[in-house]
């Protein structure tokens, strides 16, 4: 595992300080960061999926990655070439992250023509390739459509990550990397998922684009 800088590590320190229960999963959060870092630096794509509140988390997390979160991420001189100064000033460097919770027409077609549980798996099969990471988010760890998506992504050569509750479920068994927050009730798991993916977003932003 690549040694993380003190600047990036401070986000892990802050996570454990502000949310003391999450200090116990520091190592798994760091492993998740390493998997996501390797994906982005190799030119891969992060795909995210989940149901209900976890679908909202997938969309939320993607939003923190695709544009600046706490940093503005200005374009490099090379990236600015060919753009008008005004457009170049307003664009930001982004992390390629795609929430599979979109694609409404495709997902409803799969649900109608095949089965609802296949919606994310079809997308993962079509999109995923080696170097990518598919992140499944679930409070139980047993969401059938997310489990199938993880299996499809893995068959395509992508790595898989699970952000789940304490039990882990089937998703934790399948995942190359699992972050199991120390909670079991749905609302408490969801409350702990947000600071975890915010921490990972800050770590990636500082590592890839520089703090501040």
Instruction: Set out the domains of the chain in order of their start, with CATH numbers.
Output: 22-209 (3.40.50.10490)
Whether residue 172 has pLDDT greater than 50: yes
**Residue % of the chain over a pLDDT of 70:** 98
Average pLDDT in the 26-50 region?
Answer: 98
Q: Specify the 3-state DSSP secondary structure of 59.
A: helix
19 has pLDDT over 80: yes
What pLDDT, on the 0 to 100 scale, is given for residue 1? Answer: 58
For the cut 80, the answer to whether the pLDDT of residue 211 exceeds it is no
**Adjacency order of strands within the sheet including 46-50:** 97-99, 46-50, 133-137, 159-164, 177-180
8 A C-beta contact, residue 176 and residue 163: no
Give me the mean pLDDT over the 9-23 stretch.
Answer: 97
Considering the chain, what is the average pLDDT of its residues? 96
Q: Does 2 score more than 70 pLDDT? A: no
Beta strands in 138-198 (DSSP E): 159-164, 177-180
Residue-wise pLDDT tens digits, 56-106: 999 999 999 999 999 989 999 999 999 999 999 999 999 999 999 999 999
Q: Which among 204, 161, 205, 198 has a CA at the least distance from the CA of 180?
A: 161
Q: pLDDT above 90 covers what percent of the chain?
A: 94
111-147: pLDDT as tens digits: 999 999 999 999 999 999 999 999 999 999 999 999 9
> For the stretch 79-103, what's the b/e string if a residue is b when 16 or more beta carbons lie within 10 angstroms of its beta carbon?
eeeeeeeeeeeeeebebebbbbbeb
Mean pLDDT, rounded, for 16-40:
97
Q: Give me the mean pLDDT over the 38-67 stretch.
A: 98
């Amino acid at each position: 595992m690549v040694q993380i800088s003190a600047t990036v590590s401070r986000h892990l320190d802050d996570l454990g300080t502000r949310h003391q229960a999450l200090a116990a999963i520091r190592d798994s959060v760091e492993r998740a960061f390493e998997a996501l870092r390797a994906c982005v630096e190799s030119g891969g794509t992060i795909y995210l999926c989940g149901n209900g509140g976890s679908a909202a988390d997938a969309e939320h997390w993607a939003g923190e990655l695709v544009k600046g979160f706490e940093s503005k991420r200005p374009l490099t001189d090379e990236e600015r070439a060919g753009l008008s100064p005004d457009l170049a000033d307003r664009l930001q460097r982004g992390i390629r992250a795609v929430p599979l919770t979109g694609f409404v027409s495709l997902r409803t077609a799969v649900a109608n023509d095949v089965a609802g549980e296949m919606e994310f798996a079809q997308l993962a099969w079509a999109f995923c390739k080696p170097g990518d990471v598919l992140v499944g988010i679930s409070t139980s760890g047993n969401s059938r459509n997310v489990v199938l998506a993880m299996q499809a992504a893995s068959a395509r050569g992508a790595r898989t990550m699970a952000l789940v509750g304490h039990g882990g479920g089937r998703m934790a068994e399948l995942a190359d990397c699992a972050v199991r927050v120390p909670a079991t009730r749905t609302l408490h798991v969801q409350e702990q998922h947000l600071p975890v993916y915010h921490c990972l977003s800050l770590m990636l932003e500082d590592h890839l684009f520089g703090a501040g």
